[in-house]
A and B are shown apart, each in its own frame.
Chain A
Amino acid sequence: MSLTRHNSKLSGWLDLSQSLTGVILTLFLWTHLLLVSSILLGGDAMTLVAKTMELSFLSADGHGYPWVVTIIAVVVAVLALIHVLVAVHKMPLNLAQQRALRKQMTVISHGDTKLWVWQAITGVGIFLLLPVHLWLIGSAPETIGPIGSADRIWNQGVWMVYLPLLLCVELHAAIGLYRVAIKWGAEKALNHRARIKKIKTIVSVVFVVIGIASLLAFLPYASQ
């Protein structure tokens, strides 16, 4: 007899939810970055995107509802929390596990294991930096726009959060998606592993470049 009800299928659901939340967050991340990169087309383009995301087309005065952004931030926070709580089961948490990992990696050289270590490191980085980003945006959604965002990024120094977050998240997400494809055995992924690994690297680099370019594009608006 056991004292608590034992759900034998929980570990399956947990593993599945880690992959699912990871995929959803990755797709959100890439969409988000493309929307933010509208600043590269100019302030007006970004204002249009920001207003559309606040559903301005549904409000009579055309101002939209900034709280929509807050809701998105809360949903992202919940998904990220689920992802972290499950992923943490797989991290080397005690000293014996860390020693075993270090020993194995010193003796055996293996690329995909190193990739995973990078994923774990960037995961910790995201865990620390993402709450700051979500709080800043979720608590002041009305400030999103060329001037408001530029002020936040450059005058208030939030680039110190955004730049490392960008690097962490773009590495983490692309490696994660590559791993999910192989993990669940998408047939093409299994047959074209080398190719999708290359695509993964290209995607990471392209999004980091777009992200840095977007951060720099805010610079002229910071002095206005």
Chain B
Amino acid sequence: MSQGRTLTFNIFRYDPQEPGDKPKMVKYQLEEAPGMTVFIALNMLREKQDPSLQFDFVCRAGICGSCAMVINGYPTLACRTLTSKYPKGEITLMPLPGFELIGDLSVNTGKFMRELAERLKLWLHPRQDEIDIHRIEAPMAPEEAAKLYELDRCVECGVCVSACATKQMRDTFVGAVGMMKIARFELDSRDARSVEDFYHVIGNQDGVFGCMTLLGCQDNCPKDLPHMQQIAYLRRKMAGALV
């Protein structure tokens, strides 16, 4: 095997828990291995060079959404980004903007997602008032299930929130993840909420009518979810409820 090139990492370092610590960029060097991802590189750096380096990961396969960070200006998942993508071998890593910083590259997306789910009531509101566990569940048309499944692919990584300048400027804006999840329940025939109910939640300037179509969500979503189509669909639906 040929000798790998040397990668240079510029990594944002700051620990808010440590008194007197100031945000800074720290340079690390590492020999590239075949098929190396940014996530693998970070683990090697932590193991061999700096055990204090903070970053999140769980699944290593683009499913958990934990390792989202800004890589050379693009917010994405570290585990799905090959280092070979960068011909110069220079990689700058920043934490996702717009979230509470835990330390270095680790941000608290979980807290944000939970608050969002509670605020928008992102769970199924069944049609029946009384839940009878002995009743056989009504079947769902495969086409409908496929549509719901498409939107359920969201891993809550927070990339769309960071990539959205509207969200960064307006804290109360629900962002693409909120609208995607609302659209998911709006499409679900088992959900009892009407267009008016959804209008109440996102038919305002914190929802679809505050979105400026900057398309940061669409262009950066690591799961390639159809944000642009989905928000346009919701906007038309909500505009239809105007008359």
Contact surface of A with B, Cβ cutoff 8 Å? 8-9, 11-16, 89-90, 92, 97, 100-101, 103-105, 107-113, 116, 179, 182-185, 190, 193
14 contacts between A and B (CB under 8 A): A8-B203, A9-B199, A12-B239, A16-B239, A89-B205, A97-B169, A100-B168, A104-B97, A104-B98, A108-B162, A109-B73, A109-B74, A183-B232, A183-B235
Using CB atoms, name the residue of chain A closest to B162: A108
The number of A-B residue pairs with CB atoms under 8 Å apart is 109
Using CB atoms, name the residue of chain A closest to B94: A107
Using CB atoms, name the residue of chain B closest to A193: B228
CB proximity of A90 to chain B, nearest CB, Å: 5
Residues of B within 8 A of A110 (CB): 163, 165, 214-216, 219-220
Q: A108 and B203 in contact (CB under 8 A), knowing A90-B210, A182-B228?
A: no
CB proximity of B193 to chain A, nearest CB, Å: 16
Residues of A within 8 A of B28 (CB): none
Alpha-carbon separation in the docked complex, A27 to B203 (Å) = 28
Alpha-carbon separation in the docked complex, A108 to B203 (Å) = 28
- Specify the main secondary structure of chain A where it touches its partner: helix
Q: Are B242 and A184 interface neighbours, CB within 8 A?
A: no
CB proximity of A176 to chain B, nearest CB, Å: 10
Instruction: Flag whether B119 is at the interface (Cβ < 8 A).
Output: no
Alpha-carbon separation in the docked complex, A13 to B220 (Å) = 30
Residues of B within 8 A of A14 (CB): 205, 209
Residues of B within 8 A of A113 (CB): 165, 214-216
CB proximity of B231 to chain A, nearest CB, Å: 8
Instruction: Flag whether B49 is at the interface (Cβ < 8 A).
Output: no
Specify which of A11, A107, A179, A185 is in contact with B203 (CB 8 Å cutoff).
A11
Specify which of A15, A104, A182, A185 is in contact with B209 (CB 8 Å cutoff).
A15
Residues of A within 8 A of B215 (CB): 110, 112-113, 182
